[in-house]
């Protein structure tokens, strides 16, 4: 709706409408809109428009991370809470457009990528007898009586090894894509230099 958008002019003098909460328009709330019109360079307008397009996606990513972090709390309270606060900070950075909060969330995503690489390393180079111990305990827990236990264990280890490797590779791929989206969004948020440019632009119309 137009009531939720504000009009600015680009370098060519054309009218462009942006969401009223767009950080590139944060200074317009300090002045009477009937007294002046704000103008932005085409480059900043393109970033502002792209920022609006990607905000919903990043909020979805942060929301999913918040849910996952809640589950982490059951495994490790300290790490789960730390990751939870970072994810909540990432979500609020899409509401208030705080670049510092998004920076912390971006570092968190890089950490997740490193952890995924580490899990793949463990999958490719498992510790000695790791899979064997897993399946021996599994067989004991269900009280299976096998005529050829070694062969069944070898097959189970083989299946588990490749399924674990494939799953971790897929999760790494997804994590890299997510980190890329977050990095793009972080770069779209206005820098201190661009905020200064906005202040200068706004003062010209007083």
So where are the chain's domains?
106-188
Residue 123: pLDDT band by 50, 70, 90 thresholds? Answer: confident
Point out the least confidently predicted range of 22-31, 92-101, 112-121: 22-31
Rounded to a whole number of angstroms, the distance between the first and last alpha carbons of the chain is 28
Q: Which residue has the higher pLDDT, 95 or 202?
A: 95
pLDDT tens profile 161-183 = 778 788 889 999 999 999 999 99
User: What whole-number distance in Å separates Cα of residue 11 and Cα of residue 44?
Assistant: 10
pLDDT tens profile 48-79 = 899 999 999 999 999 999 999 999 898 888 99
Sign of the dihedral through C-alpha 177, 179, 183, 186: positive
Cα 140 to the chain's mean position, in Å?
42
pLDDT of residue 164: 79
pLDDT tens profile 75-96 = 888 999 999 999 999 999 999 9
Q: Which two tokens stand for residue 59?
A: 């909020």
Cα 115 to the chain's mean position, in Å?
15
Q: Which of 6-20, 147-161, 174-188 has the highest mean pLDDT?
A: 174-188
Give the residue-averaged pLDDT of 101-107: 96
pLDDT of residue 145: 47
CA distances from 129 to 17, 106, 122, 153 (A): 63, 37, 13, 12
Q: Which two tokens stand for residue 116?
A: 């995924």
User: What whole-number distance in Å separates Cα of residue 88 and Cα of residue 102?
Assistant: 10
**Whether pLDDT at 151 is above 60:** no
**Whether pLDDT at 29 is above 50:** no
Among residues 92, 115, 90, the alpha carbon closest in space to that of 103 is found at: 90
Residue entry with tokens 């103008």: 39
pLDDT of residue 34: 47
Angle at CA of residue 189, ends 3 and 46, nearest 5°: 65
User: What whole-number distance in Å separates Cα of residue 39 and Cα of residue 107?
Assistant: 34
**Whether pLDDT at 31 is above 50:** no
**Whether pLDDT at 197 is above 80:** no
**Whether pLDDT at 8 is above 70:** yes
pLDDT of residue 124: 77
Among residues 15, 87, 89, 102, the alpha carbon closest in space to that of 51 is found at: 102
pLDDT of residue 130: 55
pLDDT of residue 16: 79
Cα 85 to the chain's mean position, in Å?
13
Q: Which residue has the higher pLDDT, 98 or 31?
A: 98
């Amino acid at each position: 709706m137009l009531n939720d958008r504000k009009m600015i002019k680009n370098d060519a003098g054309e009218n462009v409408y942006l969401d009223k909460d767009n950080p590139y328009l944060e200074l317009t709330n300090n002045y009477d809109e009937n007294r002046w019109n704000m103008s932005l360079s085409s480059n900043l307008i393109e970033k502002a428009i792209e920022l609006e397009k990607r905000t919903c996606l990043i909020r979805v990513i942060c929301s999913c991370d918040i849910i996952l972090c809640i589950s982490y709390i059951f495994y490790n309270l300290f790490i789960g809470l730390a990751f939870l606060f970072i994810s909540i900070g990432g979500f609020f950075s899409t509401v208030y457009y705080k670049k510092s909060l998004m920076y912390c969330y971006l570092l968190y995503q890089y950490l997740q990528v490193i952890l995924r690489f580490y899990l793949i390393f463990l999958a490719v180079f498992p510790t000695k007898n790791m899979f064997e111990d897993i399946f021996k305990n599994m067989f004991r827990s269900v009280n299976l009586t096998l005529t050829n236990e070694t062969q069944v264990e070898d097959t189970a280890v083989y299946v588990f090894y490749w399924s674990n490797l494939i799953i971790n590779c897929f999760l790494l791929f997804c994590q890299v894509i997510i980190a890329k989206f977050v990095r793009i969004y972080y770069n779209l948020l206005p820098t201190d230099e661009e905020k200064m440019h906005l202040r200068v632009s706004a003062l010209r119309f007083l």
